[in-house]
Amino acid sequence: MGLDAMVAGGFTLTRAIQSRSWPAESANLEFSAVWGTRGRVASDVKKISDGVAVARISPLLEPAGAIDWTPVPLAENKGIAFQGTNVRGLGFTIDPAEAADWINADPSNRDVVFPYLGGTDLYGSPTATASRWVIDFNDRSEEQSSRYTLPFQRAVAKVKPERLRNSDQAVREYPWWRFWRPASAMRAALSGLVEVLALVQTSKTQLPIRVPTGQVFSHKLVVFATDDYGHQALLSSSLHQLWAQRYGSSMRLDPVYTPSDVFDTFPRITPTAQLIDLGKLLDTRRTAIIARRNLGVTELYNLVNDPRVKPGDDTDVDEIRTIHSRLDREVIVAYGWSDVELEHGFHAYKQVLKWSVSPVARYELLDRLLSENRRRSLLLAS
């Protein structure tokens, strides 16, 4: 019998350890532990989740919060966060040199060949630029697409056979020259923007990076239709990071950012002037550090989140940690929650160790965000 059924049947969890390394060095294992009872639990008995006193413990072995509520999408967040394009056909991809040759041969090919930004590019490259290009006929008909001779010939040779022999009938019957999921709503939302924010969907980092439009964003990315530095600060905050870990899914140990469950339900505040300044500061200083040290975003944040890098060991790491701490403080001030002591340090949540707020602050902030989601959703429904 699983914990969900046990709790539904009247079992009360009184203490839990969600995940901890096995104490023997010879075993590379993680374990969970749980204490509970079917009997009555006195009101003065503290419930402890990973060392933090909480109101309730969920079957997921984490604080359940003071209210019993599942966050719902908020209308104010609709049409901002999108998963990138699902190409479904490696034959669409080409290297940059070949793309340049095609454009030199026929400048109109610029209409249908674009940089193709993926997760490794965004978090692995110091410049966060695409290492591949892609053929994108968008919503053109087959006849219209065939006018772009070199790109169309490549698609006929590399994409069409793959699509037509696919075991899925829906794939075989779909227009073979088009992307499987072209992210049309995202394209419309990005129209008119020169820059947007993007993050890698499956990653321990999950921080928004400023990138130019005019390229195709892979389905490995989540793209936000905004160029606002204040929102860059908010989405980079511990509050948003923790919300993403709490309500997103996971793949092995890596959090998975699902826009419908994470961004759409996140009760955003209107960024203040201070948050706009801090978002710009974070972007400017991080970009400079990455360029000077020839690092990717993941490499930099592996240092930021490494407790072995002590204060004073690396001035760049110290600076990024300080900016994030200031940013978190300004975010909770904007929410009106300045009474919460953040106590930044190295704290693990769902087996991900980061420079973040303390477990006590995490529990309190997630609880308040959940209450705010409920308040806003009920307000709209009334």
Concatenate the DSSP letters of all residues of 274-285 into one string.
Answer: HHHHHHHHHHHH
Token readout for 326 is 């200031």
Exposure of 153 by Cβ count < 10 A (0-12 exposed, 13-18 middle, 19+ buried)? exposed
Taking the C-alpha atoms of residue 269 and residue 332, their distance in angstroms, rounded to an integer, is: 10
149 neighbors 157 (Cβ within 8 angstroms): no
Where do the structural domains in the chain lie, given as residue ranges? 3-54, 81-224, 228-381
pLDDT for the residue numbered 346: 97
pLDDT for the residue numbered 13: 82
Token readout for 136 is 């994108």
Token readout for 40 is 């009555």
* DSSP sequence for 108-177: GGGGTEEEEE-HHHHHHSTT---SEEEE--TT--HHHHTTSHHHHHHHHHHTHHHHHT-S-HHHHHS-TT
What does the radius of gyration of the chain's CA atoms come to, in whole angstroms? 24
CA dist 136 to 148, 163, 194, Å?
Answer: 11, 16, 19
Specify the pairing of strand 12-21 against strand 47-49: parallel
Q: Which residue has the tokens 């933090």?
A: 52
233 neighbors 282 (Cβ within 8 angstroms): yes
299 neighbors 265 (Cβ within 8 angstroms): no
pLDDT for the residue numbered 1: 57
Token readout for 149 is 């001779």
Q: pLDDT in tens for each of the 382 residues of the chain?
A: 577 677 777 788 878 777 666 776 666 666 778 888 887 887 777 778 777 777 777 776 777 667 888 999 999 999 999 999 999 999 999 999 999 999 999 999 999 999 999 999 999 999 999 999 999 999 999 999 999 999 999 999 999 999 999 999 999 999 999 999 999 999 999 999 999 999 999 999 999 999 999 999 999 999 999 999 999 999 999 999 999 999 999 887 899 999 999 999 999 999 999 999 999 999 999 999 999 999 999 999 999 999 999 999 999 999 999 999 999 999 999 999 999 999 999 999 988 999 999 999 999 999 999 999 999 999 988 7
Helical packing angle, 273-293 and 297-304, nearest 10°: 110
Closest CA to 62 of 347, 257, 350: 350
Token readout for 319 is 């600076």
| Cα-Cα end-to-end distance for the chain | 40
Taking the C-alpha atoms of residue 155 and residue 130, their distance in angstroms, rounded to an integer, is: 20
Q: Which residue has the tokens 């477990």?
A: 359
pLDDT for the residue numbered 246: 94
Question: 3-state DSSP call for residue 1?
Answer: coil
pLDDT for the residue numbered 58: 74
Q: What is the DSSP letter of 202?
A: B
Taking the C-alpha atoms of residue 206 and residue 200, their distance in angstroms, rounded to an integer, is: 6
pLDDT for the residue numbered 9: 78
Closest CA to 323 of 257, 233, 241: 233
Exposure of 285 by Cβ count < 10 A (0-12 exposed, 13-18 middle, 19+ buried)? middle
